[in-house]
Chain A
Amino acid sequence: MRRTLLVTGASRGLGRAVAERAIAAGYDVIGIARKPAEAPFPIHACDVADAAAVKAVASRLPREMPLWGVVNAAGVASMNLALMTPPATVSKVIATNLMGAIHVSQAFAPALIRAKAGRIIHFSTIAVPLGLAGEAVYVASKAGVEGFARAFAREVAGFGVTVNCIAPGPIDTDLIAKVPAEAIDRIVRRQVVQRKGTPEDVWNLVAFLLSEQSAMISGEVLHLGGA
């Protein structure tokens, strides 16, 4: 039976890259994005910061749909000093990255619990363990995601559902398009593997975490590039 993945942030960036590779690997993909784009899979218009909207998408999915995994790639970045970040931006970053991860988990985990199996993958960032200056608000939001994922993993472990975070270093996506190359290089030099990651690197880890072989891995944060 083909397995279905729910991918957030699916219209561009890492979410889009993961969704396309998942289709090539044989998954059915349903996307969520604030601004749906042309894609070889259905994308629901939905802001993950809006709990009711996320729940509405979940309620429209057929109960018999064999949802196997959720890849929560929706996210916004804020490369700024904390003292220079306006409150509205702080709220937006926390609402999308942290509250979005919670909303998506609340909305879609019940389907996995009912199926007594499934995978939830959130995205964090290598900036959390590196404590990168200039990303304090973003780091705070993603550190929250990691904490949520570790605790939520325990809440659903008995149902055969795993919850993990992938924390990549810089990957060539829209998220870092406006970050100066020198700043990216400084981050890469602090990684164990000193190169920028690729969407393929990300997919390789996503594919493993989605596999049956990853059943014993839950509540973990996997740093792509090494922190």
Chain B
Amino acid sequence: MTAEAAQRDIEAKIRDLVAFITGEDGAGLTAASPLVGDGAVVDSQGLLEIMLALEDFAGERFGKPFDWMNDAAFSSSRSPYRSIGTLAAHMAAQMVDA
């Protein structure tokens, strides 16, 4: 699988997770939807739920562990989790290259 294909799968998964956690239909969610900082679509508890669910998804879909510990997790400028798209790209890089 290419990184681009993995990223698309993961991004769709994240959108589903955000919709489930927020109880909304997720129609307005895009790759740019923030997960951290101002305007975040989930709180820190929701972000934890997303990470644990992605850990499960990584094992089921890619057969690989997903390491989501990161010093910059809550930096609105540097966090790999600052948006749905950056999280998907960050995870996809681990799933394809790891």
- Give me the interface of A with B, judged by CB distance under 8 Å: 106, 110, 113-114, 155, 158-159
Contact = CB atoms under 8 A, between A and B. Distances in A.
A195 B69 CA distance: 44
B70 interface: no
Contacts of A158: 45
B44 interface: yes
A107 to B, nearest CB: 11
B52 interface: yes
Interface string B41-59: 0001100110010010000
Interface string B38-82: 000000110011001001000000000000010000000000000
Interface of B: 44-45, 48-49, 52, 55, 69
A105 to B, nearest CB: 13
B67 to A, nearest CB: 10
Report the 4 A-B pairs with minimum CB-CB distance, sorted nearest first.
A158-B45, A110-B52, A114-B52, A113-B52
A97 B44 CA distance: 27
B65 to A, nearest CB: 8
A158 B79 CA distance: 23
Contacts, number: 13
A117 B68 CA distance: 22
A20 B48 CA distance: 34
13 contacts: A106-B69, A110-B52, A110-B55, A113-B48, A113-B49, A113-B52, A114-B52, A155-B44, A155-B45, A155-B48, A158-B45, A159-B45, A159-B48
Contacts of A159: 45, 48
A17 B69 CA distance: 34
A158 B21 CA distance: 13
Nearest to A158: B45
Contacts of A110: 52, 55
A28 B49 CA distance: 27
Given A110-B52, A114-B52, A155-B44, 10 more contacts: A106-B69, A110-B55, A113-B48, A113-B49, A113-B52, A155-B45, A155-B48, A158-B45, A159-B45, A159-B48
